[in-house]
């Protein structure tokens, strides 16, 4: 890479972006004008409302015999800012409904006690505040009476009323208290402001450039892809950092404005020495840099896939939601920064900043989080360089829309599903499986599981029928040579062996998740073997294969390169099992299933593989003793390292054998060419 | 001299049933463009002109074949070095609207490795030649079509390249703007620069080109001087030659 080239490109990107009104508004006006204004105004509004509540005069009607004696009680409120006006009316309820009176008070003495009843309207603000004030007044009156009676009985008033006294003394310093309060909100604000700050330059330098047609100009120059990406990335990162810093300054400004209030709330009037936060601020700035690297790279990756400003904006919405969701982790009290959480993007920064503000400095953790962020950033930049290398994306003419929203008469008959439709199918199926499927499994157990499987089949099938797809081609419904079934058997036995190792490793990483999954499964399956076998092994073998290797894989291979199509669809298959501990194992299984489906062009060998795999786990669940006699390694609680190595080696050997057997013969290849 | 040897560019088309069909947008084209000549590339829409020129300019990588540049007898193979000897202009390349022409030129100049005094000198020269003094410091998005076209040309000049590649540079321009470009190409040719350019306008090609390359479906159908083409086909002018060589209906359908 040539630094001179990067420098001039960077200068150009900065000029280009900074002369765009949208960026400047997002970067300067929002943090420096809008935020403070909104916060200060809402603060003033709040105090104004509180003031009007506490200083109002409330109109009440005492609607009972002998109310005259009590009028004094409501008139004589020497130490309060609010006051009552006692109004006489003939029909108090209707007066209240007409809002001429705020509350009506009734009392009866029949039980020997003074039983008050306060009638108010919770739907009317003033009326419900009035009810609170009346309640305060009556409670004070009640206390007064109690004291008098105690005195008359000759008891010590204070001691009788408060026989137990509790005193709390907070040993946290003022700074610690303030820090832990700020620790919940600051990380969230930081993450969001960085995301907002990078969004517009990210769109502008990638999709915006494509839309304006200037990318071709750049390609005519002696500039390498890496130089181009690096300069864009530096520009977006710079703007992200600048806008984050401006956001923080503005937050600090607003904080200083409210300092009096905040300090008194947090520390009961004590002082906060800001100098104590200096190390946190310094490390925090490092965090901002690291996170800016990460978030600019990610948002640029997302935007680079889009052809226009509008499209890029649409792509960023889910990213924003994901980032927001991840930054909420900072709000969860018992999630702490550990080597596990440190690798979760966004959440790691939030947790680190929270720790810093609570004066927890773990140098190793700080280094890890910074490293992880920069590493993700670098990976994303490399991905971005790949995206920019693809001529299909640079010179491409936009992707098709989602077909289901087209008029049905316009849809061509007998075509192949498109990838946009596949994504929609995946999302709809996932939602149905999570909500409807989950509910049904809780209600109907094993048969709920069957219903879930039917959903997995019904959604893509319905979609394919509606959009008039070629059903046989879409779901790969055709026979194939027997050799693929032989290959399938090799692949699945090898896959199960490797899977045992990966699930062992995953279980070690995500302990709770594995235990939960095993428990919930035991609840559902019941105690009869045959139905369980049909529902756990046969149904998924049919339904999941048709969905994932049929609809999803097929539509993805039509659009993406073969390897990415296989990996993406296998990862979706893994994610769909909704368990962190199962993810790796199911994804590997997914890759093997994809392989045989692609090679044979048929859904059938995959179904066989899937059935064998699920049937085996079903057998293990029902007959652990018999299995342990035959194949002890399957039911062992802990697999030793040597066993693991052996299993991996044997599994890989079998898989390789399966791959060899299942490879398309060259005759078929020639035919295709 | 720009030398293209057996260039092939394969694109993948999505077809029915998820099958992918490959087709060659450029299917084995070899041409040479020397300094001091103008070579015109003619063909119907979709014939592969733009893909060919993009490969010549290094914007696209050929699927097979190779582009080299002979600079004073020395063979340049490096893509970036070749780009440094070429000024590429196409009808639909846009400029950075938020920059001024001067900023654009100095950015491009420094990418080409010129130092600041040199860049300033070149900008002054180009500004004189293309008469850009009035608007060189205005933002490009504020310029008129003709001014933008001049700014586009200036972009290709800043590094004083040996060779120009123009992809339909006169498409959609009025007579004044297009004749300015045509005259510019003639002048550059006289000063010893090579030009390879594509067009739909037959009369323009007749007037301008030393050699003409006719391509159809990614292949060269005919190549030679206007006179050679006339004698070989026995036709009067380029329009008739074009019509006789390329079945226009079929070509357009593609």
The residues with which B86 forms a beta bridge, in sequence order, are B163
Average pLDDT, chain B: 85
Mean pLDDT confidence for A555-577: 85
pLDDT band at A78 (very low <50, low <70, confident <90, very high): low
pLDDT band at A560 (very low <50, low <70, confident <90, very high): confident
The answer, yes or no, to whether residue A396 has pLDDT greater than 70, is no
Comparing B164 with A79, the larger pLDDT belongs to: B164
pLDDT band at A669 (very low <50, low <70, confident <90, very high): very low
Comparing A30 with B4, the larger pLDDT belongs to: B4
Q: What is the pLDDT of residue B40?
A: 93
Q: Which of B86, B92, B96 to mutate to test the interface with A (most CBs of A within 10 A)?
A: B96
3-class secondary structure, A406: coil
CB contact under 8 A, A216 and B103: no
- DSSP structure class, residue A109: -
What pLDDT digit, counting tens, does each position of A113-125 carry?
Answer: 889 999 999 898 8
Task: Determine which of A262-266, B9-13, B242-246 has the lowest per-residue pLDDT on average.
Answer: A262-266
Q: What is the pLDDT of residue A215?
A: 82
Residue A224 forms contact with B (CB below 8 Å): yes
> Taking CB atoms and an 8 Å cut-off, how many pairs form between chains A and B?
93
Q: How far is B155 from chain A (nearest CA, A)?
A: 9
C-alpha A373/C-alpha A331 separation (Å) is 20
Comparing A437 with A410, the larger pLDDT belongs to: A437
Chain B residues whose CB is inside 8 A of the A7 CB are 110
Helix ranges (DSSP H) in chain B:
49-56, 79-84, 101-111, 116-130, 145-157, 175-190, 202-208, 226-233, 238-245, 248-253
Chain A residues whose CB is inside 8 A of the B60 CB are 391, 395
Q: How far is B212 from chain A (nearest CA, A)?
A: 24
Identify which of B180, B154, B153, B150 has the alpha carbon closest to the alpha carbon of residue B166.
B153
Task: Determine which of A258-267, B77-86, B197-206 has the lowest per-residue pLDDT on average.
Answer: A258-267
The answer, yes or no, to whether residue B26 has pLDDT greater than 70, is yes
The residues with which B69 forms a beta bridge, in sequence order, are B2, B76
Q: How far is B80 from chain A (nearest CA, A)?
A: 5
pLDDT band at A491 (very low <50, low <70, confident <90, very high): very high
Chain B residues whose CB is inside 8 A of the A12 CB are 96, 99, 103, 107
CB contact under 8 A, A221 and B83: yes
Q: What is the pLDDT of residue A520?
A: 63
Mean pLDDT confidence for A507-529: 66
Q: What is the pLDDT of residue B15?
A: 58
What proportion of chain A, given as a percentage, has pLDDT over 90?
Answer: 16
CB contact under 8 A, A216 and B92: yes
Find, in chain A, the residue whose alpha carbon is nearest to that of B153. A217
Cβ(B45)–Cβ(B99) under 8 Å?
Answer: no
CB contact under 8 A, A11 and B107: yes
The answer, yes or no, to whether residue A268 has pLDDT greater than 60, is no
Q: Which of A216, A227, A235, A552 to mutate to test the interface with B (most CBs of B within 10 A)?
A: A216
Q: What is the pLDDT of residue A661?
A: 87
Q: How far is A386 from chain B (nearest CA, A)?
A: 14
Identify which of A14, A564, A573 has the alpha carbon closest to the alpha carbon of residue A305.
A564
C-alpha A628/C-alpha A435 separation (Å) is 37
Mean pLDDT confidence for A133-152: 91
What pLDDT digit, counting tens, does each position of A307-339 carry?
Answer: 888 888 888 888 898 898 888 877 777 788 888
The answer, yes or no, to whether residue A611 has pLDDT greater than 90, is yes
Residue A217 forms contact with B (CB below 8 Å): yes
Q: What is the pLDDT of residue B100?
A: 93
Comparing A638 with B44, the larger pLDDT belongs to: B44
Chain A residues whose CB is inside 8 A of the B110 CB are 4-5, 7-8
Q: How far is B156 from chain A (nearest CA, A)?
A: 9
Q: What is the pLDDT of residue B7?
A: 92
Comparing A670 with A340, the larger pLDDT belongs to: A340
Comparing A165 with A558, the larger pLDDT belongs to: A165
Chain A residues whose CB is inside 8 A of the B106 CB are 8
Chain A residues whose CB is inside 8 A of the B95 CB are 214, 217
Q: What is the pLDDT of residue A411?
A: 67
The answer, yes or no, to whether residue B251 has pLDDT greater than 50, is no
Q: How far is A600 from chain B (nearest CA, A)?
A: 15
The answer, yes or no, to whether residue A283 has pLDDT greater than 90, is no
Q: How far is A548 from chain B (nearest CA, A)?
A: 16
Chain A residues whose CB is inside 8 A of the B139 CB are 19
Which of A43-52, A174-183, A360-369, A382-391 is modeled with the greatest confidence? Answer: A360-369
Tokens of A419: 């990838």
CB contact under 8 A, A12 and B17: no
Which of A338-342, B24-28, B176-180 is modeled with the greatest confidence? Answer: B24-28
Q: How far is B243 from chain A (nearest CA, A)?
A: 30
What pLDDT digit, counting tens, does each position of B115-153 carry?
Answer: 999 999 999 988 988 888 889 999 999 988 888 888 888
Average pLDDT, chain A: 83
Residue A214 forms contact with B (CB below 8 Å): yes
Chain B residues whose CB is inside 8 A of the A4 CB are 110-111, 113
C-alpha A418/C-alpha A440 separation (Å) is 31
Residue A391 forms contact with B (CB below 8 Å): yes
CB contact under 8 A, B60 and A16: no
Chain B contacts to A (CB-CB under 8 A): 14, 16-18, 20, 57-61, 79-81, 83-84, 86-90, 92-99, 103, 106-108, 110-113, 139, 155-156
Q: Which residues of B152-188 are buried (b: 16+ CB within 10 A; e: fewer)?
A: bbbbbbbbebbbbbbbbbbeebeeebbebbbebbeeb
B96 closest CB neighbour out of A4, A16, A415: A16
CB contact under 8 A, B111 and A395: no
Q: How far is B152 from chain A (nearest CA, A)?
A: 9
CB contact under 8 A, A16 and B107: no
Cβ(A400)–Cβ(B70) under 8 Å?
Answer: no
Q: In residues, how long is chain A?
A: 673
Instruction: Name, in order, each residue with C-beta under 8 angstroms of A416's C-beta and a sequence gap of 6 or more.
Output: A469, A470, A473, A474, A554, A555, A558, B16, B17, B18
pLDDT band at A147 (very low <50, low <70, confident <90, very high): very high
Find, in chain B, the residue whose alpha carbon is nearest to that of A417. B18
The answer, yes or no, to whether residue A34 has pLDDT greater than 60, is yes
The answer, yes or no, to whether residue A668 has pLDDT greater than 50, is no
Identify which of A394, A24, A380 has the alpha carbon closest to the alpha carbon of residue A207.
A394
Q: What is the pLDDT of residue A400?
A: 46
Could you tell me the CA-to-CA distances from A278 to A103, A175, A273, A366 in Å, in that order?
54, 12, 10, 16
CB contact under 8 A, B18 and A222: no
pLDDT band at A575 (very low <50, low <70, confident <90, very high): confident
Question: What is the distance, to the nearest Å, from the Cα of residue A182 to the centroid of all Cα atoms in its chain?
Answer: 22
The answer, yes or no, to whether residue A637 has pLDDT greater than 70, is no
CB contact under 8 A, A216 and B90: yes
Sign of the dihedral defined by the CA atoms of residues A507, A508, A509, A513, in that order: positive
C-alpha A444/C-alpha B124 separation (Å) is 82
The answer, yes or no, to whether residue A112 has pLDDT greater than 60, is yes
Which of A178-192, A336-350, A557-571, B187-201 is modeled with the greatest confidence? Answer: B187-201
The answer, yes or no, to whether residue B183 has pLDDT greater than 80, is yes
pLDDT band at B41 (very low <50, low <70, confident <90, very high): very high
The answer, yes or no, to whether residue A293 has pLDDT greater than 50, is yes
pLDDT band at A404 (very low <50, low <70, confident <90, very high): low
Task: Determine which of A452-461, B114-123, B233-242 has the lowest per-residue pLDDT on average.
Answer: B233-242
Residue A526 forms contact with B (CB below 8 Å): no
pLDDT band at A390 (very low <50, low <70, confident <90, very high): low
B16 closest CB neighbour out of A216, A224, A416: A416
Instruction: Using CA atoms of A652, A655, A660, A662 in order, give the dihedral in degrees to the nearest 10.
Output: -170
pLDDT band at A671 (very low <50, low <70, confident <90, very high): very low
**Burial class of residue B138 (count of CB atoms within 10 Å of its CB; 0-12, 13-18, 19+):** middle
């Amino acid at each position: 890479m040539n630094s001179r080239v990067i420098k001039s490109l960077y200068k150009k990107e900065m000029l280009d972006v900074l002369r765009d009104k949208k960026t400047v508004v997002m970067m300067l006006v929002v943090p420096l004008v809008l935020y403070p204004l909104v916060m200060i105004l809402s603060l003033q509004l709040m105090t104004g409302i509180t003031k009007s509540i506490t200083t109002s005069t409330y109109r009440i009607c005492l609607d009972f015999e002998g109310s005259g004696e009590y009028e004094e009680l409501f008139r004589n409120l020497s130490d309060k800012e609010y006051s009552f006006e006692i109004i006489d009316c003939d029909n108090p309820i209707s007066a209240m409904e007409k809002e001429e009176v705020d509350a009506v008070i009734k009392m009866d003495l029949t039980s020997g006690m003074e039983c008050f009843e306060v009638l108010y309207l919770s739907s009317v603000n003033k009326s419900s505040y009035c009810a609170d004030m009346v309640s305060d007044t009556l409670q004070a009156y009640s206390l007064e009476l109690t004291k008098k009676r105690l005195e008359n009985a000759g008891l010590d008033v204070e001691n009788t009323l408060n026989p137990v006294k509790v005193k709390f003394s907070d040993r946290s310093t003022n700074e610690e208290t303030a820090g832990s309060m700020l620790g919940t909100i600051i990380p969230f604000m930081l993450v969001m402001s960085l995301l907002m700050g990078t969004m517009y330059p990210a769109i502008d330098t990638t999709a915006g450039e494509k839309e304006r047609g200037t990318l071709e100009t750049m390609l005519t120059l002696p500039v390498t892809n890496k130089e181009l990406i690096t300069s864009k990335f530096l520009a977006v990162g710079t703007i992200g950092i600048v806008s984050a810093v401006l956001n923080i300054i503005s937050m600090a400004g607003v904080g200083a404005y409210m300092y009096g209030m905040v300090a008194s709330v947090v520390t009961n009037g004590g002082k906060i020495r800001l100098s104590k936060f200096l190390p946190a601020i310094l490390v925090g700035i490092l965090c901002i840099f690291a996170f800016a690297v990460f978030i600019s790279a990610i948002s640029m990756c997302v935007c680079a896939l889009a052809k226009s400003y509008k499209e890029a904006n649409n792509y960023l919405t889910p990213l924003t939601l994901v980032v927001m969701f991840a930054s909420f982790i900072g709000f969860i009290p018992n999630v702490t920064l550990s080597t596990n959480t440190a690798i979760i993007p966004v959440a790691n920064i939030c947790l680190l900043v929270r720790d810093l503000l609570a004066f927890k400095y773990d140098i190793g953790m700080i280094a890890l989080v910074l490293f992880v962020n920069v590493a993700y950033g670098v990976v994303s930049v490399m991905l971005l360089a790949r995206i920019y290398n693809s001529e299909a994306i640079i010179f491409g003419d936009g992707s098709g829309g989602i077909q289901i929203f087209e008029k049905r008469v316009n849809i061509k008959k007998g075509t192949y599903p498109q990838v946009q439709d596949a994504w929609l199918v995946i999302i709809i199926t996932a939602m149905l499986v999570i909500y409807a499927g989950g509910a049904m499994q809780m209600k109907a157990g094993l048969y709920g599981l069957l219903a879930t499987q039917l959903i997995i089949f019904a959604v893509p099938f319905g979609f394919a029928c509606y959009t008039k797809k070629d059903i046989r081609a879409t779901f790969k419904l055709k026979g194939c040579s027997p050799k693929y079934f032989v290959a399938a058997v090799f692949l699945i036995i090898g896959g199960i062996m490797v899977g045992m190792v990966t699930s062992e490793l995953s279980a070690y990483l995500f302990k709770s998740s594995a235990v939960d999954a095993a428990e919930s499964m035991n609840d559902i399956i019941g105690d009869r073997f045959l139905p369980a076998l049909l529902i756990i092994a046969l149904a998924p073998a049919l339904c999941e294969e048709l969905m994932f290797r049929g609809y999803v894989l097929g539509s993805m291979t039509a659009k993406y390169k073969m390897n990415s199509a296989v990996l993406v669809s296998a990862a979706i298959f893994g994610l769909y099992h909704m368990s962190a501990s199962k993810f790796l194992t199911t994804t590997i299984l997914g890759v093997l299933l994809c392989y045989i489906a692609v090679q044979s062009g048929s859904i059938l060998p995959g179904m066989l593989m899937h059935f064998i795999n699920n049937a085996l786990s079903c057998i293990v669940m029902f007959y652990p003793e018999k299995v342990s006699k035959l194949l002890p390694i399957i039911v062992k609680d802990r697999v030793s390292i040597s066993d693991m190595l052996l299993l991996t080696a044997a599994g890989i050997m079998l898989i390789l054998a399966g791959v060899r057997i299942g490879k398309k013969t060259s005759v078929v290849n020639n035919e295709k060419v | 001299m720009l030398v293209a040897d057996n260039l092939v560019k394969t694109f993948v088309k999505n077809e029915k049933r998820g099958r992918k069909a490959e087709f060659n947008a450029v299917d084995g084209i070899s041409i040479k463009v020397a300094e001091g000549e103008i070579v015109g590339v003619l063909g119907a829409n979709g014939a592969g002109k733009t893909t060919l020129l993009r490969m010549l300019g290094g914007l696209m990588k050929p699927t097979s074949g190779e582009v080299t540049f002979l600079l004073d007898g020395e063979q340049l193979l490096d893509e970036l070095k070749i780009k440094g000897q070429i000024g590429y202009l196409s009808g639909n390349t846009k400029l950075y609207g938020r920059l001024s022409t001067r900023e654009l030129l100095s950015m491009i100049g420094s990418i080409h490795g010129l130092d600041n005094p040199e860049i300033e000198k070149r900008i002054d020269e180009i500004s004189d030649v293309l008469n850009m003094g009035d608007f060189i410091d205005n933002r490009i998005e504020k310029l008129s079509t003709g001014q933008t076209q001049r700014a586009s040309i200036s972009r290709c000049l800043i590094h004083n390249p040996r060779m120009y590649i123009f992809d339909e540079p006169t498409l959609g321009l009025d007579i004044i703007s297009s004749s300015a470009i045509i005259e510019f190409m003639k002048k550059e040719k006289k000063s010893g620069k090579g030009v390879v350019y594509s067009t739909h306008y037959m009369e323009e090609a007749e007037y301008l080109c030393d050699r003409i390359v006719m391509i159809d479906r990614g292949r060269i159908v005919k190549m030679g001087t206007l006179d050679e083409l006339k004698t070989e086909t026995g036709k009067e002018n380029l329009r008739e030659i074009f019509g006789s060589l390329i079945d226009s209906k079929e070509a357009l359908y593609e």
